[in-house]
Amino acid sequence: TFAGIRKSGVGKSFMAADIACRVATGTPWRGLPVKQGTVFYINGEGQAGFRRRLRGWWLHYGVMPENLWVGERAIPITDNAAVLELVAYIKGMAEEHGRPALLVIDTLNRNFGGKDENSTTDMGQFVDAIQDHIMDAFGCVALVVHHCGLSDKTRVRGASNLKTNIDVEYRLTKDPGELTRVHNQKTKDAPEPPDVRFQLRAINLEWGNEDTTAVPIWDNEFDDLPADDPEPPMSKQQKQIWEILVQAMDDAGGEVLDNKALVERCGSQGINPARVSEARKHFEVQDLITVVKEGKEIKIHRKDPILG
């Protein structure tokens, strides 16, 4: 299985670390059993932060992920020599600790060797290296953490052959109450699973100071789960601007509106352009809209809060 999770600023690396620790320790996930196995984690950035996440996970669950092996530098997966070196390392570790059950690549960009993500040739090298040299050779799952597109946040960034070769794909978005929604974008040869959610909870690292990290707490683990409502909280004025935006799009018969038209409509109701700009940024952060700059013009594209 070749799986991917994506989107910036929603805890995707925390989620990947949580999955890796659960597989390494056999810790159940949302009440479901997890088969224990050796995990190799290629962490392309933030080594100190990653070690803090592992310690936080251990302190929270009381289980040390001893079968988790972390590569402390990025590996250019698009380079044949680097891939062969990685395979040799995994083979050596597998002889002592067992064949890997999971390989995590965090993130695709950091382990792409400076190649062009939009090139089908370069992306093909990346996919072939993972599938042929690692997944097929060791019989393991590969989990790739990646970013969404710059203008279209509903699709995976880069060449289309990445999406084609992924067996399972998840998109992460923000929900009310500091929750992250995990939505299935693709499942090959199986029914589409329902959305699940998690919340990052602060964990004191117990290093004699107030140093903290966070671990994902899944929606089955706490009782104060907010209602499953995709609409984010808004101030009274932001709600007013949102209603003006929706009405303007409805009047135009589409899902796209020029920002200038929104400012003019809001201005007719006494709303300062600066407040419109702030609200637009809020809507974008909450994944309600996509903002596309076309020269000097700014186009606002309305999105479905869940499906994008």
Largest CA distance in the chain: 72
- Work out whether strand 179-187 and strand 168-175 pair parallel, antiparallel, or are unpaired: antiparallel
- Residue 226 maps to a domain: no
pLDDT in tens, 31-51: 999 999 999 999 987 778 888
Average pLDDT score over the chain: 86
- Residue 231 maps to a domain: no
- Residue 295 maps to a domain: yes
Instruction: Give the residue ranges of DSSP H helices in 66-115.
Output: 80-97
pLDDT in tens, 259-284: 999 999 999 999 999 999 988 988 88
Residue 283 sits in which domain range?
236-302
Which residues neighbour 98 within 8 Å (Cβ) at sequence distance 6 or greater? Answer: 37, 38, 67
Q: Which of 18-22, 100-104, 251-255, 303-307 has the lowest mean pLDDT?
A: 303-307
Distance CA 107, CA 3 (A): 13
Q: What percent of the chain clears pLDDT 70, i.e. is strictly above it?
A: 89
Number of domains in the chain: 2
- Residue 229 maps to a domain: no
195 and 256 inside one domain: no
Q: The domain that contains 201 carries what CATH number?
A: 3.40.50.300
Distance CA 284, CA 94 (A): 45
62 and 160 inside one domain: yes
213 and 272 inside one domain: no
67 and 108 inside one domain: yes
- Residue 53 maps to a domain: yes
pLDDT in tens, 123-162: 999 999 999 999 999 999 999 998 876 556 567 788 989 9
Rounded to 10 deg, the angle between the 12-25 and 47-61 helix axes is: 50
139 and 253 inside one domain: no
- Domain boundary, last residue among 160, 185, 218: 218
pLDDT in tens, 81-128: 999 999 999 999 899 888 999 999 998 999 999 999 999 999 999 999
Residue 174 has pLDDT above 90, yes or no: no
More confident residue, 73 or 142: 142
214 and 240 inside one domain: no
Burial of 293 per CB tally in 10 Å (0-12, 13-18, 19+): exposed
Complete DSSP assignment for 122-166 = HHHHHHHIIIIIIIHHHT-EEEEEEPBPSS-TTSBSS-HHHHHH-
Q: The domain that contains 295 carries what CATH number?
A: 1.10.10.10
Q: What percent of the chain clears pLDDT 90, i.e. is strictly above it?
A: 50
- Residue 273 maps to a domain: yes
* Structure-derived torsion over alpha carbons of residues 184, 213, 109, 128, reported in degrees to the nearest 10: -60
113 and 190 inside one domain: yes
123 and 269 inside one domain: no
